[in-house]
Homo-oligomer: A and B are copies of this chain.
Amino acid sequence: MVQYKAPVKDIKFLMNDVYNFQKHYQTIPGGDEATEEMVDMILEAAASFSEDVIAPLYQSGDEGCRFENGNVYTPKGFKEAYKQYVEGGWQSMATPVEYGGQGLPISLALAKSEMIGTANWSWGMYPGLSLGAMNTIWMHGTEAQKREYFVPLSDGRWMGTMCLTEPQCGTDLGQVKTKAEPNGDGSYNVTGTKIFISSGDHDLTENIIHIVLARLPGAPEGTRGISLFIVPKFNVNTDGSLGERNPVTCGSIEEKMGIHASSTCVMNFDSAKGYLIGPENKGLMCMFTFMNTARIGTSIQGVASAELSFQGALPYAKDRRSMRALTGKKDPDKVADTLMVHPDVRRMLLTQKAIAEGGRAMVYNAARIADLMNAAHSKGDTELYEKYDDELGFLTPILKAFLTELGYEAANHGVQVYGGHGFIKEWGMEQIVRDAQISKLYEGTTGVQALDLLGRKVLLGKFKSFNTYADKVSAFTKATKRPEMKKFIRTLKRSMIGWKIYNYRIAFKASKNRDMVGSASVDYLMYSGYLCLAYYWAMMAETAYQKIEKGEGDLAFYKAKIQTAEFYFERMLPRAKGHAKMMIKDPKSLMQMKEEDFSFLD
């Protein structure tokens, strides 16, 4: 049984020591509310809630949701926990005060999401997905729509979903077939089938607000003919009370590899009443406006998988005795030494730790940028908004794909530390692997993220956002003079030069053969991820050295940070070499084989 403990100390290290969120909060609206005391209080409360209310439902929730007579019932205890969540005001932490929210910074809400998500990813998906619907309405809804839908969503009284995927298409949303026909009264009849709808139905809230991609009559084909609609489960009366049931129903729930406690629904829209949100035929563009922030949410799953699996593996490695240390018996009076004496077990644990803590640093930096974007949006400063959007846009595919790939790896190390016991359900370690698998698939697969990074963000963007990022790294390496940091700075500088050269080499090759982009993409993404993570680890090491120098805080904690950074640079960063060598290869070895020659079975 994994006993989740929220890593509040590590979160504070990032917020206070590494990123100085207190200073940052003074520059954003609502930030003045987020005093150090308030932040501490919120973090502690979120930690308790995650540890005491949500975490105990993790393994039991693996039994899954029930589907009966068209209704979905969440696992035992989910509803009660959600009631507490709403009462605690957790859903409205970062929503605007004028719509009943608390207006606190997004980054603070994200710390809460990390804790809840690590304690129980499936549980966290219900309120988490609702944020997607809320964001859509906040960014593109009319004032009336905000009052009607956003407020109860923000309260947590209702929940929302995003209905994008259809049986014939997931990534390629241009193929969407769901139709919306105008009723003449401003409403539309929405008809079609959506699949893989997380939280499509459940028993947590009295109403569910679906955001649906559909086509208007005569809309252009492909992505240019898709609009967004609000389709409530229960129609809403003018006084805000629930009206009649809308014909949008759950046809079935999927049997999946993991995240069993999260309902994944087939949703049938059968002339369901809907309302246009945002401009006609601009549905996909509207969705893209907050795709970056939504994807940070998914990247947290990488951190969560690594953190939870590490928390499961470490006590086992300390407790379980097997064989003797290669350097001689460590506990001669015991039947064997613990797993902690074995270098390879330490390698696996440190890999998990480096992913969890390094990934967290990447995510909290992104959250800081999301705060700034949000501030720019509030001020109506489009130029500033786009600047931050670019900055975040470069990082999001890396965060989403690299961190979820590494989170999955970390979850697998957790199983491996347990040996055969890792394969047994009772211990809870294999559940983390099964749950982590989805993170590489939804919100754009690793392959899709990689194309977004290399194709769109780097090459189409003519290296602009890459250069912004590289300048930041360069500023850091220039400013860091401490002799102990040399080992990191030297490697980091060399890596950044290498990265730039590879960019140009790939761009050159891609100009001759477009397949170069797809062929290099995933290796390029992983390469970029390892280099990014090196920067964050170096930053954390520098902060730790500063703290040790000043004699502030828990010195052992800071020393462990430096040691983990050393581990990362020696034992993980070199993986980038292999990716570099592969990404620069000609696409020929991928493209030359004829389709019919992949297999000779018939």
Contact = CB atoms under 8 A, between A and B. Distances in A.
A450 interface: yes
A172 B570 contact: no
A602 B47 CA distance: 13
A326 B514 CA distance: 6
Nearest to A335: B175
Contacts of A451: 344
A587 B343 contact: yes
A563 B577 contact: no
Interface stretch (A211-219, A281-289, A515-523): A515-523
B445 A255 contact: no
A576 interface: yes
Interface stretch (A295-303, A376-384, A424-432, A531-539): A424-432
B434 A257 contact: yes
Nearest to A581: B574
A322 interface: yes
A428 B10 CA distance: 40
Contact of A175 (B336, B446, B560, B577): B336
A590 B343 contact: yes
A420 interface: yes
A586 B594 CA distance: 46
Interface string A432-443: 011001101110
Given A5-B601, A344-B451, A567-B590, 16 more contacts: A255-B424, A256-B425, A256-B430, A257-B423, A326-B514, A343-B518, A344-B521, A346-B593, A347-B590, A420-B441, A556-B600, A560-B597, A570-B589, A574-B578, A575-B578, A576-B578
Interface of A: 5, 7, 9-10, 165, 168-172, 174-175, 196, 254-258, 310-311, 314, 318, 321-323, 325-327, 335-336, 340, 342-350, 353, 412, 415-416, 419-420, 422-426, 430, 433-434, 437-438, 440-442, 445-447, 450-451, 455, 513-515, 517-519, 521-522, 554, 556-557, 559-560, 563-564, 566-567, 570-572, 574-579, 581-582, 585-587, 589-602
